[in-house]
Each structure stands twice: as structure tokens, then as C-alpha cells.
Amino acid sequence: MASTSSVTLSQALLSRAISSHASAQSSDHRPSLSTISFPGFSGLKSSIPRASSSCRRHPSRSNQKRQVRAAAVETIGTAAETSLVEKSVNTIRFLSIDAVEKANSGHPGLPMGCAPMGHILYDEVMRYNPKNPYWFNRDRFILSAGHGCMLQYALLHLAGYDSVLASFFHILSFFLKDLKSFRQWGSRTPGHPENFETTGVEVTTGPLGQGIANAVGLALAEKHLAARFNKPDNEIVDHYTYVILGDGCQMEGISNEACSLAGHWGLGKLIAFYDDNHISIDGDTEIAFTENVDTRFEGLGWHVIWVKNGNTGYDEIRAAIKEAKAVKDKPTLIKVTTTIGYGSPNKANSYSVHGSALGAKEVDATRKNLGWPYEPFHVPEDVKAHWSRHTPQGAALEAEWNAKFAEYEQKYKEEAAELKAIITGELPAGWEKALPTYTPESPADATRNLSQQNLNALVKVLPGLLGGSADLASSNMTLLKMYGDFQKDTPEERNIRFGVREHGMGAICNGIALHSPGFIPYCATFFVFTDYMRAAIRISALCEAGVIYVMTHDSIGLGEDGPTHQPIEHLASFRAMPNVLMLRPADGNETAGAYKVAVLNRKRPSILALSRQKLPQLPGTSIEGVEKGGYIVSDNSSGNNPNVILIGTGSELEIAAKAADELRKEGKTVRVVSFVSWELFDEQSDAYKESVLPSAVSARVSIEAGSTFGWAKIVGSKGKAIGIDRFGASAPAGKIYKEFGLTPEAVVAAAKELC
């Protein structure tokens, strides 16, 4: 039974991913793809001596060109080994060159320079199963410098990531058809790596710095699971996270935020390769980036190694990886000095090879320079034969792990069940019963406080729930009271202290979410500070990472802190972002409903906008109503034909309810609608939407303490939207609401103008 169960675990994860992809068709009817990954052997040579960081600059360009031309005859080990390695590396280079050339679009320089480290990682180091890219204990690889994605596509093609989806959907994934369709409509080789499109890509990268931050999240997830579930006699969680990042990633502030945390947390299984080629789009990095990266990363708590010859120094790269794996208490940065566009006689080491095709003449010259006699997209037979071993080896690695899990499950049933839930994403039966419920007699409270009640109830039943705040946990109310802090020496704990690093926090949570389907990460700050992390939230939406964003202090209701801290345009901006659930609950039941929705939506992020000020528990609100997005809270009309419909969200739903009471005293029939999530309401049937907002009723008034932008869609051309279309002010919350016209009296007056 144990053996069957463990095999089922891998099969369940694969079938769950396949089924998810099948149900998420893209616009051209191709199945959408989700997360994937990669692995790691050690078996490397002895360590190289640490190089002085003062020798940062490249040799002169004339010398570099001479070195490039000589590269084809440089040898390591035996001649046969050298010949096959170099042929494999050049296969990677020319698959990249040819794809970019055919598309007449792309970035050939990075793949040409990084091919040696890519080859060593995928061919010699990483553990993975090409036929089951979702195998849990695989190593993960992130190409943070996502513009160089042809490097990864070429590696995936050679490694055998071409049959999982083909066998289920009868399509080609990494056959040459897709390499030849690089950056074209319908291809699985888009212009930057996208995990939902391409089997073998872990996370969506492209915006520089996001990938290395995602990798920190992946490495955190591994360290956390290992601490929670490994036993002295069975280390069931044991994999590495590898990254390639470039100068652009180093310059972006998000990378420093995330790498600072990685050093603080001692993520020893995170190994980052810094493609130190000193070229960015505008030219040599000396025009804007001259800091000593080695010293900075040492200051961040990383182990730093310098590979001086990344072009042909295969043994140096191998030795650096071996040294990195020997360092258990720190992440490692391997600075690999490379030549961008290596092998190109006239464009190597220049910005002209960074972001455009080489051109036919230079491609021919590069073929001659590197002794490559083959036609475009050719993979030599001996290279194919060499790489083909990864299919049986990967299957054997997974089978070995399955047997190991079977033993684990026999000895540690409770832990195995929890780990299995995290691996598969299956939610425990009846988990939603843990959500607290409220009555109108329950005391008024801020929704940020009600949020904490929900988090602390859910963490008892959801093994994958963990998260934290950007140095605001005591204000966001996000502490999990029954757990301690995830720290270097206590990684099994589930409170994550991100410090004042909003952008890095969001991207790290993306990595956690994409590590395993059952992880449910949350992160928190003030709603206005989503401005600092918007790019990470957008990537959450794009790469289908179900992060829960707990955003408190959601309006001018925060009061005296003033306009710098009062969000105005934020609700509208996130409602405009695809694949995001923007939820603004009004009380306890709606807060519980928002959490239910957020937990269930594992392929889109949820943003919960929560109040600082206390709000009453309103009659008529419900968890079930939130799941519809918009629903009727109260109504004294009949025949689905009220005189006026009042629509509110969050703290303003109370104002709408009070206004309704006044209008009803005057004989009006009034419907009050809570519009907690526009996105969920849009997904309801036309019949349901008509039952809530009947088209025959044009007298509609909305009230929300934010921009009125977009509300015309809800209230119609004849309705009125009450809101704030300027920045806020510093004063007590009650005074601000009155001065900005967010009052029951204002709603009553607007309603009377319409009916």
C-alpha cells in the first residue's frame, strides 16, 4: 500500500497539473501550462582559489576577440570529453542564434555567453525528470535574466522536455517546431520565460530582478519544508534552487531586497550565477554600474566565488558549484565572467549583440569562427545521444524518491499527510468550517483585526499557509499566534519577517506559491504601499501565483497619517489588472468570505483591502455573498424593481445601509448591494447579475472612499458615483469623511436626484 500511495503522489501532482492546464485554454485554444522545474548532482572538482575582486574589468576588447577565436581549441580533461562538451555547448549557442535569427527578434548575446554554465547545470548537476516536470523533489532553475530565454529553451529541448504534453494533447512542446517559432504566435517559446506556457519553466521572468527574488522564495520553501518534514533517517525534502542573473538584475533594487533576506535567512541551497559580462542595452556598464558586487554580496551574508573564465573554464564552473554546495549556512553567488555574444567575431562584448539578431553575415562568420559546419537548428547525433540519458536517469531519480516517500509514509503518517497536501494542493476536507462567523450583535471591529482572526483560524487547518508583513505585522495584524518566526535557525516556523522590503516581499511570495501547489503564502503592508510592489503583484497575476495580499489601512479612514498613506486610485488600478481578485470586505462575515475566495483561488492572487477603523457587523452580509462578488444585503422592494439601488464596498457599505434606512422612512423602496469584488461579480451568470442590478433600474448610487474611475460601468450613465478624485488629507477619520462628502446625507441627496 505504501508503495502505491507514494507513486500516486507523483502521479496525482502530474495529473493535477495536466488537468489544470487542460481547463485553462488560452485564446488560441492551446492548453495553458503551469509551473515546472529542475535538479542537482554534486560530483564536481576541487575548489578554485578565491580571486581578488579588484580585477573586475575585462581584458581589452582586442584581447577578448583573440581569446574568443582561440576558444575552439582550448581543452579540458581528455580530448574526447572536451570535444563532446564543446560540441554540446556550441549546440546550445547555435540553437539560440538560429532561433533569434529566424524570428529577427530576441537576445542572442546572453545564451552565447552563458552556454557553458547552462550546459553544466542541466547536463551534469541538476536533478530532474523531463517526463514529469512536476516531480516534487526536482531542483529548480530560474533564468532571472529572462531576455536570454533561448538559453533555457535550448537546454530544455536537449534535456528531453518534449513529451509530457504531447502525450496528453498531441502537440509538440520542445521539438524543433517550437524552437523555429521562437517569439511567434502559438509557439511555446515566447519572448521571455512564462511558466504557464512552457513546460520546464518554473516562474515567469523578464522584468529584471524578479527572477532572483522568486528564487529566494523557492529556496525559502525548500528550507521550510525540510525543517518541518525531514527526519534523521529520511531526508524527504532535498533540492537546490539555481539562478542565472545578469547586470540588469543586479541594478534593480528588488534583487538587493530579496538577496538581503536570503543572506539573513541563510538559504544555503540557493546558488546564483551572476553573468558578469559588463554589457547592458546602452553599452558598457561602466557608464552607470561600477560598484563592487562581490563586496556587496559578502555584506549581505552570501558566500561569493569568482569564476574568471566563464567562456571555456568548465572545470572552474564545476569546482565553483562543488564549493557552493559545501557551504550549508549561506547562499552562494558565483560571479562568472563571460563574454556576451561569445564566438561572434565582430559583435562579441558589445551592446549590439544584447538585444538584436546577429544578422546573416555575422551568423556565418560565427559559424566559421567556432567551427560549426551544420545547418540552422541542427543537433549533432552524438550530442543527442549524450543528452538522451536524462530521460531514464530522471525516471530513476523520481522512482527512488517515490520509494523513499513510501518508507516515510509508513513511519510518519501525520507528517506525510501534511506534506502530501502541500505537494498536491489538495485542501483538507471541511477546511472552510474553520472560518469564523459573526452576527449583528458581534462587536464592531476593524477588518484588519477580523483578518487576523481568520488567519489564525485557517493556519490550524491549512498546512501550506504561511506569510508575514513588511515590518508592519503588529499594525497589519498578520501574526500567526501559535507559531514563531521563520529565521535562519528556526525555518520550520510560519511567520515570515520581510522587513521594509515590499517589492522583494511580493516576489518572494510568488516563488513560495509556485514551489508547490499547496503553499498558500500571504504578505501584508498598507494598501498605499502596493505602489512599491505593483510589479510583483502583476507577475503574481501573470504567472498564476495564488498569493494573498493582505492590505490594511485601505482608505482615508486611516486618518491623521495623511495623503501619503491614504490610497485613492489603488482600488481602480487593481480592478484594471487582469487575473487579480480585488476584495474589499465590509465586516466580519465578508472578511471570512474574502479569505475563503482567496484560499480557493490558487491560480490568481487576491488582494484584501482592510480597514483600520472599526466597522459594525452588518445585517445581511454573508460568506456566500462574497463568493458572488456582489449581492443584495437588504431590500424592501418587490418584483426586482426598487426605486433606487445603493451600492457600497468596505467601510462605505455601512454608509449605504444608513442612507437606505433614511430613504425607506420617506417611503422609498431601496436595495442595498455589497460590491465586494467586481471580478467575481463579472463571472456570474447574466441571470444572477440581472437579479442584483436589474437593467430597468437606472437610479443607482455608489459610494466608495476611493477614485470614482470605473464606477460608471456599475451605476450606468444615469447613476451617480460618490468617491474621492483627489488626494486625501490629514485629520481624524470622521472629520475627513465628512469633509469629503462620504456621508449618509450625501447618498440620500444623490438618490433623491435620481428617483
Which H, E and C letters describe 654-692, residue by residue? HHHHHHHHHHHHCCCCEEEEECCCHHHHHCCCHHHHHHH
Give yes or no: 654 in active site.
no
What residues form the annotated binding site for Mg(2+)? 247, 277, 279
The packing angle between helices 744-754 and 652-665, to 10°, is: 50
Task: Note the pLDDT of residue 738.
Answer: 96
Which residues belong to the annotated binding site?
A: 107, 147, 206-208, 247-248, 277, 279, 354, 448, 475, 529, 553, 561, 565, 612
Q: Which range has the worst mean pLDDT, 53-57, 154-158, 254-258, 350-354?
A: 53-57
pLDDT at 10: 60
- The one-character DSSP state at 300 is T
Q: Thinking of the domain 431-609, which architecture would CATH place it in? A: 3-Layer(aba) Sandwich (3.40)
Q: Is the pLDDT of residue 540 over 70?
A: yes
What are the DSSP calls for 438-456, one per residue? --TTSPPB-HHHHHHHHHH
pLDDT tens for 658-692 read 999 999 999 999 999 999 999 999 999 999 999 99
pLDDT of 15 reads 56
Residue 56: per-residue pLDDT: 34
The answer to whether 486 touches 429, Cβ cutoff 8 Å, is no
The per-residue pLDDT for range 24-66, each reduced to its tens digit, is 433 333 333 333 332 332 222 222 233 333 333 333 333 333 3
Provide the pLDDT for residue 61.
33
Q: What is the mean pLDDT of residues 747-753?
A: 98
- Model pLDDT, residue 186: 86
Confidence check: pLDDT of 636 > 80: yes
Distance of alpha carbon 573 from alpha carbon 577, whole angstroms: 7
CA atoms within 13 A on the CB side of 407: 11
Sequence-distant (≥ 6) Cβ neighbours of residue 576 within 8 angstroms: 710
* Residue list for the binding site for substrate: 107, 354, 448, 475, 553, 561, 565, 612
pLDDT tens track for 449-475? 999 999 999 999 999 999 999 999 999
Distance of alpha carbon 334 from alpha carbon 317, whole angstroms:
9
Residue 74 has pLDDT above 80, yes or no: no
Amino acid at 246: G
pLDDT of residue 213: 98
Sign of dihedral through CA atoms 99, 116, 388, 165? negative
Instruction: Please name the residue ranges forming H helices in 516-642.
Output: 534-542, 570-575, 588-600, 623-628
pLDDT the model gives residue 16: 52
The pTM assigned to this predicted structure is 0.90
Is the pLDDT at 73 greater than 70, yes or no?
Answer: no
Alpha carbons 693 and 684: distance in angstroms, whole number: 12
All cell numbers assigned to 160: 528531453
The catalytic position among 86, 409, 502, 652 is 502
Lowest mean pLDDT among 20-24, 187-191, 416-420, 442-446: 20-24
Cβ-count burial 224-262 (b if 16+ within 10 Å, e if not): bbbebbbeeebebbbbbbbbbbbbbbbbbebbbbbbbbb
| Region of 230 on the Ramachandran plot (φ > 0 left; ψ -120 to 50 alpha; else beta) | beta
* Residues in the chain, overall count: 755
For the chain, the average pLDDT equals 89
Q: What's the pLDDT score for residue 177?
A: 81
Is 630-753 assigned to CATH 3.40.50.920?
yes
Q: Compare 176 and 94 and report the one with higher pLDDT.
A: 94
Q: Say whether pLDDT at 445 is over 50.
A: yes
Which whole number is the average pLDDT over 134-143?
98
**Mean of pLDDT values over 111-122:** 98
Q: What are phi and psi of 416, to 5 degrees?
A: -60, -40
Q: What is the mean pLDDT of residues 344-354?
A: 95
Q: What's the maximum distance between 2 C-alpha atoms anywhere in the chain?
A: 95
**Same-fold call for 92-393 versus 431-609:** yes
Report phi then psi at 731, rounded to 5: -175, 165
β pairing state of 283-284 and 279-280: antiparallel
- Choose which CATH entry (3.30.565.10, 3.20.20.450, 1.10.1380.10, 3.40.50.970) describes domain 92-393: 3.40.50.970
Q: What is the pLDDT of residue 69?
A: 31
Return the percentage of the chain with pLDDT > 90, whole number: 86
User: Tell me: the pLDDT tens digits for 695-747?
Assistant: 999 999 999 999 999 999 999 999 999 999 999 999 999 999 999 999 999 99
pLDDT at 202 exceeding the cut of 90: yes
Q: What mean pLDDT comes out for the span 391-415?
A: 97
Q: Is the pLDDT of residue 2 over 90?
A: no
Among the ranges 54-58, 183-187, 545-549, which has the highest mean pLDDT value? 545-549
Give the residue-averaged pLDDT of 577-597. 98
Residue 312 has pLDDT above 70, yes or no: yes
Where exactly are the structural domains of the chain? 92-393, 431-609, 630-753
Q: What is the pLDDT of residue 17?
A: 55
The 3-state DSSP class for residue 1 equals: coil
Over the stretch 606-618, which tens digit does the pLDDT of each residue have?
999 999 999 999 9
Distance of CA 214 to the CA centre of its chain: 6
Q: What per-residue confidence (pLDDT) applies to 82?
A: 77
Q: Which residues are annotated as a binding site for thiamine diphosphate?
A: 147, 206-208, 248, 277, 354, 529
Identity of residue 105 = S
- State how far the Cα of 146 lies from the Cα of 123, in Å rounded to an integer: 20
